[in-house]
Structure 1
Amino acid sequence: AGPSAASAAPVPAELVTAAQKTVPGVVSVMVGGGAASSASGSGFAIDNQQHIVTNDHILAKGGGGEVTVELSDGRRYAAEVVGREPGSDLAVLRVPAVAGLAPLPLAKPRSTKVGEPVLAVGSPLGLAGTVTAGIVSALDRQVRLGTTRRSAVQTDASINPGNSGGPLVNARGEVVGVNTAIATIDGNGSIGIGFAIPIEQVQQTADTIIGKGG
């Protein structure tokens, strides 16, 4: 057997298609900057009104500074903060209609299965459009999300700083959760245990925020 025998197994074609569909709808989120505190993460369009879901902790780390969103094609827009929900670590932004973001499809409630392949999409360490693959490791994992303990989707797809707020999608390209936290050893990077806010919680919270904030 030649060197190729040790190569990784082929990536399933459906994951390649899911990545192609998802990346254009994912944005980089940058908060603050300059002398003030700054933070960055990811987000994605959830409807046709240019509402973007992201993590509240990104805005909190940014110290309430101005929010800028960068699209996959490099265009940048100032974003309005429609509303925040620290308790669930979710926030909703909105960019001008000219951005033309297409919303990502959402998975049906309670349809996610342990063992199914998933992709984490976002901007880890500022590297926009990064895709990592893994599986759903567990469901209903009780972890601290925002200010409270909530059920989360556990995945071994690599999640690193900057992935927060980005989507975790299944092989059909449907969002099953919002990447929000990782477990680490001595604070050092991804060890294959990441957590995402389940899409049911995301949809409910986003609808509430948008309903209040317009």
Structure 2
Amino acid sequence: MNTKEIFKRPVVALIFLLTAIAFSSCKKNDIDDSGQFNIKVVNASATAGPQTFTLAGNVLISSGLNYMDASAYVNVPSGKNMITEFKNAGTNSVYASGSIYTDNGVNFTVYLAGSGSNARVKNFQDDLGSPNNGLVKIKFIHLSDKAPNIVTIKNTNGDEYSSSLVRDLATGYKFVSPGNLSVQVVGLTSKNSVGTFNFTDLIAGKIYSLYLTDDANGNVVMNKLLHN
């Protein structure tokens, strides 16, 4: 046998294996029927209108979510590269789509953000472990197209919750006292104030996401989402 052929065969086999792995990893809606995860769906786009939501071809939300509406957590099969689609309610017209990769037993919240050509679907994993010692657990998410790309978030005492939160990303969890919370958001580079946002009813033992987005008039707002 030709020596070149001896070395060629393992190389060909390796290329075939790598191609197969790449194809498998790119496969859409690779569902794990033996696994489950929990998903909450939020319409964070003020101009999108009522939306339905489909995961891996299965309709999870059919009634139409309005701006700031959120579903309960829905238990569904987990998987890789599962296609997420927000559709205009009453139609099959996709407003924005994305994909999600999940492990078994985890919790995700999926947001519709932006409008028009900036419409997008963003996924954030949630930790639903309750805070101790009568505190409140919060995280911040930046979904605003009107705010600067990178912002600083702090309270009125100057304590920073994030020194550089980038658009479409989230902070880690923070622990605050129940009751009133005043949040100041400033552009990282410009140092200009984006706004001060007040929350007066944070409840001990609860978990919230406070997400920056834009209202129908293009003003930057911060909305509150309860997780437990």
Q: TM-score, normalised by structure 2?
A: 0.30
Task: Report which of the two structures shows the higher radius of gyration computed on alpha carbons.
Answer: 2
TM-score by length of 1: 0.31
Q: Which has the higher contact order (CA 8 A, sep 6+)?
A: 1
Indicate the structure with greater helix content: 1
